[in-house]
Structure 1
Amino acid sequence: MDAELFPRERARVAPGAVHVPDWLDPDGQRELLAACRDWARPPAGLRTVRTPGGGTMTARQVCLGLHWYPYAYARTAVDGDGAPVKPFPGWLGDLGRRAVADALGGTEAGGAAADAAAGTPPGPAYDVALVNFYTGDARMGMHRDADERSDAPVVSLSLGDTCVFRFGNPETRGRPYTDVELRSGDLFVFGGPSRLAHHGVPRVHPGTAPPWLGLRGRLNVTLRVSGFPAAG
């Protein structure tokens, strides 16, 4: 990426919510994109999500660890081909814990920074990923990530086209909110008092992905701690 007149700095958007630009380097972005392409293949691959009211989400989705559908989790793609959900890889959980430690530090991440300094995997065990694919006209309405039993921070990684990420408040879908530009490689983490804040994507800017990435559109990889017991 060309140097900018004013380099982007990390920003505390709200209590417990932090934006870290360029957190994933080019090699990390390529590796995550390759993994996303594998996960998107059937069975239990990329699908269109249908809402209870009969509508459809414009961003398509694939899940790991547990399958999310409005508004619950299952162990199979119950609103897709019915296949068992793909496993959540351990390296992705390590990435999530490192993201929380880097973004929030010891206080807001529940001691994650101290764990990282000691060389141990910090924080709780991430076990669910939702991967959303946006074309240029796709959007995501304001919503809360409220179907988990855990209140561990949510980790969001962006690949491809730049988007406007609207980060609001826990009480209402309306104002106050802050619009944040998320580019390829950016990290956004929200936890603590912002864990249940409403958020959405009102706009994607087509054609803004780094040419070297080889992606048309936007991928958002969201990591969560479900709080559900492991399958026995």
Structure 2
Amino acid sequence: MDAELFPRGRTEVAPGAVHVPDWLPPGRQKELLEACRDWARPPAGLRTVRTPGGGTMTSRQVCLGLHWYPYGYASTVVDGDGAPVKPFPAWLGELGRRAARDAYGDGAGTAGDPSPAYAYDIALINFYDADARMGMHRDSDERSDAPVVSLSLGDTCVFRFGNVTSRGRPYTDVELRSGDLFVFGGPSRLAHHGVPRVHAGTAPPELGLTGRLNLTLRVSGLPAD
């Protein structure tokens, strides 16, 4: 049976933080997955991120538009193969703008703008296998307060959405499934968040993905080179 016993609806998890289940239809998920597979290939492909303290992140990452490294942005993969970062496609920026509009609704821009035209220009794409996690952190290396758009593909995860002052409580755990959208901006733009758990083997079989992909689209606010 495909129907939900208790259908999932749009939820405002915190002021400015909105979960929209099943936002990406199956066909669009497949298209986005194929694009991610292309982006993951070298040069400037999927890599393991190393922290300044010598540790490594358990998720692997590829970037578009600008390359993120702890804790800044560059035009080349400065902590990897040194190749120029792959370009951020215009269609992905439009997808981000549509996601923000759908999450907040008409006339509900987080900065009072009735029709915000956020200029999304960077993407961080994280791949999680069954054992990968993401500790609580803030997306604070951008120079823009535009909302972050998060898209999930593949395995279901527990997404922990916290507060702006600490990595601890209060926080809310949200189940993100393949195709789900999560947008956070306004008073929640700098909230701590993380992924404490991935439920292996829960991806839609027709998607053909083992693991979880998460795409976060952001506005850098940084000057072009």
Report the secondary structure of 1:108's partner residue. Answer: coil
Q: Residue type of the partner of 1:182?
A: L
What does residue 194 of structure 1 align with? Answer: 188
Question: Which is richer in strand?
Answer: 2
Residue 109 (structure 1) shift: 3.8
* Secondary structure, counterpart of 1:23 in structure 2: coil
Structure 1 Cα separation of the partners of residues 81 and 44 of structure 2: 6
What does residue 67 of structure 2 align with?
A: 67
Q: Say if 1:110 and 1:123, in contact at 8 Å, map to a contact too.
A: no
Q: Give the Cα separation in 1 of the matches to 2:110 and 2:94.
A: 14
Matches of 2:192 and 2:112, distance apart in 1: 25
- Deviates further, 101-110 or 122-131: 101-110
Q: Could you say what secondary structure the match of 2:48 adopts?
A: coil
Q: Percent identity?
A: 82
Aligned match of 1:42: 42
| Cα distance change of structure 1 residues 147 and 198 upon mapping to structure 2, 3 Å threshold | same
Asked whether the 8 Å contact 2:164–2:190 carries over to 1, the reply is yes
Tell me how far apart the structure 1 counterparts of residues 49 and 65 of structure 2 sit (CA, whole Å).
Answer: 17
Aligned twin of 2:200: 206
Give secondary structure in 2 for the equivalent of 1:31.
Answer: helix
Indicate conservation of the 8 Å contact 2:66/2:122, yes or no. Answer: yes
Counterpart CA distance in 1 for 2:15 and 2:81 is 40
- The separation in 2 between residues aligned to 1:24 and 1:44, in whole angstroms, is 27
1:118 matched residue in structure 2: none
SS at match of 1:2: coil
8 Å contact kept, 1:111–1:123 = no
Letter in 2 for 1:145: D
Partner of 1:102: 102
Aligned residues: 224
Instruction: Name the counterpart of 1:32.
Output: 32
Report the Cα offset of residue 107 of structure 1: 2.4
TM-score, reference length from structure 1: 0.94
CA RMSD of aligned residues (A): 1.1
Counterpart contact for 1:47–1:60, Cα < 8 Å: yes
3-state SS in 1 of match to 2:32? helix
Structure 1 residue 111, shift from structure 2 partner: 6.2
Separation (CA, whole Å) in 1 of partners of 2:161 and 2:30: 27
Q: How does 1:95-174 map to 2 (within 5 A)?
A: 95-105=95-105, 106-110=107-111, 114-115=114-115, 122-174=116-168
1:169-206 CA distance string (max 9 Å, x none): 00000000000000000000000000000000000000
Give 1:181's match in structure 2, choosing from 155, 175, 181.
Answer: 175
1:220 counterpart residue number? 214
Q: Is the 8 A contact 1:109 1:123 kept in 2?
A: no
Gap regions ≥5 residues in structure 1: 116-121
Further displaced range: 71-80 or 101-110: 101-110
CA distance in 2, matches of 1:33, 1:135: 15
User: 2 CA distance for matches of 1:90 and 1:51?
Assistant: 31
SS in 1 for 2:35: helix
**Post-superposition shift, 1:230?**
1.8
Q: What is the CA-CA distance between 1:110 and the residue it aligns to?
A: 4.2
- 2: CA distance, partners of 1:110 / 1:127: 19
Deviation at 1:216, TM superposition (A): 0.1
1:33/1:159 contact within 8 Å kept: yes
SS of the aligned residue for 1:197 comes to: coil
Could you say what secondary structure the match of 2:57 adopts? coil
Deviations, residues 106-154 of structure 1 (Å, cap 9, x unaligned) = 2234466x54xxxxxx522100000000000000000000000001000
